[in-house]
Structure 1
Amino acid sequence: MMLTSLDPRVNRLQVPAEWPDLPVKNQLDQWATYEVFAQKRENTAYAYVGPVHAPDLEVAFLFAKEQYSRRVACFGLWVVKTQAIQHTPYVNDNELVWGMINIPAAIRPAEPQQPFEIFILKKRGKAHTHAGMVMASDYPAALAVAKEQFGDQAPCVNVWVMPAAQVFKSAEEDKDLWLTLSEKKYREPVAYKVLDKINAFKTRTISNP
């Protein structure tokens, strides 16, 4: 007996309804997830655009470039493994997450320190945006320092913290990665100059009623 489905592609595969004994798959043998942040305009903050699945960080960057920068303006990409991100609880839009952060200074040793990138979410349903970088010894310390530096930024319903060393960042000299080739102009709406054509049409219509 074959497996039946509403999807004709499954029916064409002629899959047995009862599978023979198969080796058990190892847990977590799939590609890892990576989170992608893009800079959509030059000299603006990086913002979260979505995840990708990839075997390593460099391949994740390539996938991110294809997924999130082919059809939109992009001046830079940051990619980080999902597991490298720690975050605060989410609060409602009318609340401030910084008020939930209370980390004693005693657990924040001065040495050694490393840079952490801080992303904040101003409203549910929006994207996390880069607030800045802090120096700290670990995640809790980074969050405490972030509260001191960015706690006056409201509204704020969630905070992401990640070690800067684990973020794959496009370099300043890599901007030519996103230059649109002349034969790809059709992918950019601005290349069609629609507004110019509309204005020209209006002008002809008014001149020749």
Structure 2
Amino acid sequence: MSDLTAEGGHGAVPTGPEVPTGTGKAARRDWPLYEVFVRGKRGLNHVHVGSLHAPDDEMAVHAARDLYTRRNEGVSIWVVKATHITASSPDEKDPMFAPSGDKVYRHPTFYEIPDDVPHI
């Protein structure tokens, strides 16, 4: 019996040595991890909705559609290989973002907003 993993939060995936590899393709446990972003019908931005493993980019888009837009929630899907994402660490929060705190001119408190400017 094969081992199971829920890596990426998308459910149990067989990972044992007896998992069939198909027609010369890598075993499922060797598929790259993709991060999935979906733009909703009412939203303006793509939002991270989860992760999945897929053998290639095209299959990742199809799997993301099947997993994360089952109820017509989205109008656009992005999939990105997790290895292509570079992110800051939460431990670096203070050194990374603290320098912007001393730039008070970036805050709108120094500017007069005309009365005829809407939505501010």
TM-score, length-normalised on structure 2?
Answer: 0.54
Aligned equivalent of 2:59: 141
Q: CA RMSD in A?
A: 3.2
Q: Against the structure 1 CA distance between its residues 153 and 133, is the aligned structure 2 distance closer, same or farther, given a 3 Å change threshold? A: farther
> 1:16-59 deviations in whole A, cap 9, x for unaligned?
xxxxxxxxxxxxxxxxxxxxxxxxxxxxxxxxxxxxxxxxxxxx
**Counterparts in 2 of 1:1-209, with a 5 A limit?**
110-123=28-41, 126-152=44-70, 154-176=72-94, 177-179=96-98, 180-182=100-102, 184-189=103-108, 192=109
Aligned equivalent of 2:14: none
In 2, are the aligned partners of 1:111 and 1:137 still within 8 Å (CA)? no
User: For residues 134 and 188 of structure 1, what CA distance do their matches in structure 2 show?
Assistant: 40
1:118 partner SS? strand
In 2, are the aligned partners of 1:124 and 1:157 still within 8 Å (CA)? no
Letter paired with 2:97: W
Letter paired with 1:168: T
Please report how far the alpha carbon of residue 123 of structure 1 lies from its aligned counterpart in structure 2 after TM superposition.
Answer: 3.5
TM-score, length-normalised on structure 1?
Answer: 0.34
Identity %, equivalent residues: 27
Q: Against the structure 1 CA distance between its residues 133 and 153, is the aligned structure 2 distance closer, same or farther, given a 3 Å change threshold? A: farther
- In structure 1, runs of 5+ residues without a counterpart are 1-105, 193-209
Please report how far the alpha carbon of residue 155 of structure 1 lies from its aligned counterpart in structure 2 after TM superposition.
Answer: 3.0
> 1:103-149 deviations in whole A, cap 9, x for unaligned?
xxx78862421210111122388222212211222113322332332
Letter paired with 1:181: G
- In structure 2, runs of 5+ residues without a counterpart are 1-21, 110-120
In 1, are the aligned partners of 2:64 and 2:77 still within 8 Å (CA)? no
